[in-house]
Structure 1
């Protein structure tokens, strides 16, 4: 766990400790309420009813009852909220129709076994029907609350994400207005500069042409929602060619992608900000330079991307998103368009790996 994360914000198998604390308080409340209800109701019982119930032992068994319920609830909570997070609520409700009777049956058998093991009393005969009805009702109540809470959290995250996207869009529009230039005028300037370069400096002309192509692709990216993967990689390669002129032999690049994936459609300008981040924050400070690896493959009907470097790496991976707009914009685009996460992990033997799937 991240030591900088507050204790109650840390997660245990995907569930926040503060949520588990609220969960524990919820159980203590209902156990106490059950105690009170039985105690008050017992005043109207006759001696025979008290003897049948074995009242003192039954009161002790209430705590055991809710401990077993809590133990059985936690894995179901983890399954629905963590493992099956992307399932629709309709599918989860159908799953509950299977889990509810299992929960009741398993709880009843464990509860009765535990009571008999330690000598506590429990309902017997026809009265044991209450040990089916009440746990079923309690199951529906607690998971109704859990799903309502989870829906509220998801909705708040959605509102926050939409707000961040609006902020990013506004900043982008302002930046575009500040730097607005007629693209054709810009291309003409590039051509003029290229024409003024002496023929013997053919390499310089080539670099100017590649820079012109980068601007042309960026203009296209602002006008279309998706481009073929081949075009995005061509743009990335031109960008890396310019970076190689700066780093010389200090920068090594490896691209791994199968040819049949080149026609896949992806959002433009998706990879370049990630590669630029790896070069700027991972490799540029190293005297010996390093290697950038781009790996693209398809698995389970999704296109997977991995950009790794052999740079200095990142210790606080959450704080990276606060340092620049490149990673943040890409993160927000992935969340908004594909509900996909931008994952940062340590590369081996050193450096950073950025991965996502669409």
Structure 2
């Protein structure tokens, strides 16, 4: 934390110093007005500077003592529960009194300055005690105020974040919904003789309809996710023609298992875009799902160019990095990348 001393903000120390200057001034004025009231030599050791210099010294010592107690109670042991920190004042109060009373007397005597004696010494115990109780009561109230303000600020930021997330979710739903309707409109305007184009538009519309569903639901069946991936690959095959081959091996008994939506498509898209697309001859993509120890084991393999540095692959694209984050947060799982044989990349993960 910047601009602090003993982890206490300079502005707070300045406010405390100002308070002690005012208290010292009041004490000086009080002593001056009542200076004729001390006629017993046992109550006071007279000295020409007593009414001014020694009182300032005592309040300076109380100021230093306050900083020390503040540091320990409100900084070193800040994590303690409130009642335990209150018990620390049973140590802090005697320290504060002795520091501003006995040490003050020792310094006064060493410098030849006067101080209260006899029954008058009770004021050098009573006044520091009163100041200690009042000032640390106010400091605890100040701390509670700061904590409450931070809590309110945090709640406001949390509400703003939640609102932004809600608006983003609404936008994520509106965009594919809007495009889905537009594609249907375009499809209706395409002449019947362009049947292949109409089919491609219909399949693209289905992709956006699934994306709309994925934005609303946490889980879908493996069958639904697979149908979405197949539609996507079918459109890619229109572009690659015979350069892209697909093979899918998933037992029928697993098709009703629930998985997160859009978990396979980014990985398949990565295989097409970064694996197969750079090769003139094209390649093949294999999608396999099996069950092991009551978990689904996914494997996406391509015969593309492969990845030399697998440690940095998550920093290059959004699809792999986002999928990795989803797996880690939802299933404490992760993507495992390895070389495919004879060429390309193999991606595996478990749910």
The normalised TM-score by structure 1 is 0.50
The aligned residue for residue 100 of structure 1 is none
Q: Give the distance between the partners of 1:319 and 1:308, measured in 2 at CA.
A: 19
Measured against aligned partners, the alpha-carbon deviations of 1:40-86 in whole angstroms (never above 9, x if no partner) come to xxxxxxxxxxxxxxxxxxxxxxxxxxxxxxxxxxxxxxxxxxxxxxx
Question: Are residues 1:244 and 2:237 paired?
Answer: yes
Tell me which of 328, 337, 341 is aligned to 1:348: 341
In 2 relative to 1, CA 308–196 (structure 1 residues): closer, same or farther, beyond 3 Å? same
Q: Which runs of 5+ in 2 are unaligned?
A: 1-161
What is the number of equivalent residue pairs in this alignment? 190
Alignment of 1:317 with 2:317, yes or no, is no
Residues 185/333 of structure 1: CA separation in 2 closer, same or farther (3 Å cut): closer
**2:31 alignment partner in structure 1:** none
For residues 187-207 of structure 1, the C-alpha deviation after alignment (integer angstroms, 9 at most, x for no partner) is: 332122112111111111011
Q: CA deviation at 1:172?
A: 8.8
How far off is 1:304 after superposition?
Answer: 0.1
Confirm whether residue 285 of structure 1 aligns to residue 285 of structure 2.
Answer: no
- Partners of 2:232 and 2:298 in 1: CA distance: 18
Q: Deviations over 1:255-295 (max 9, x none)?
A: 00000000000000000000000111111010000000000
| DSSP 3-state at the match of 1:249 | helix
Q: Is the 8 A contact 2:173 2:215 kept in 1?
A: no
> What RMSD, in angstroms, separates the aligned Cα atoms of the two structures?
2.3
* Residue 189 (structure 1) aligns with: 182
Map Cα deviations across residues 146-183 of structure 1 (whole Å, 9 max, x no partner): xxxxxxxxxxxxxxxxxxxxxxx999989778877455
Q: Is the 8 A contact 2:337 2:348 kept in 1?
A: yes
Aligned equivalent of 1:221: 214
Contact 2:276–2:283 (CA under 8 A) maintained in structure 1? yes
TM-score by length of 2: 0.51
Q: Residue deviations 1:72-108, cap 9 Å, x none?
A: xxxxxxxxxxxxxxxxxxxxxxxxxxxxxxxxxxxxx
Deviation at 1:340, TM superposition (A): 0.8
The residue that corresponds to 1:271 in the other structure is 264
List, as ranges, runs of 4+ consecutive aligned residues in structure 1 with deviation greater than 6 Å.
169-180
**Distance in 2 between residues matched to 1:180 and 1:336, nearest whole Å:** 23
Q: Distance in 2 between matches of 1:286 and 1:172?
A: 40
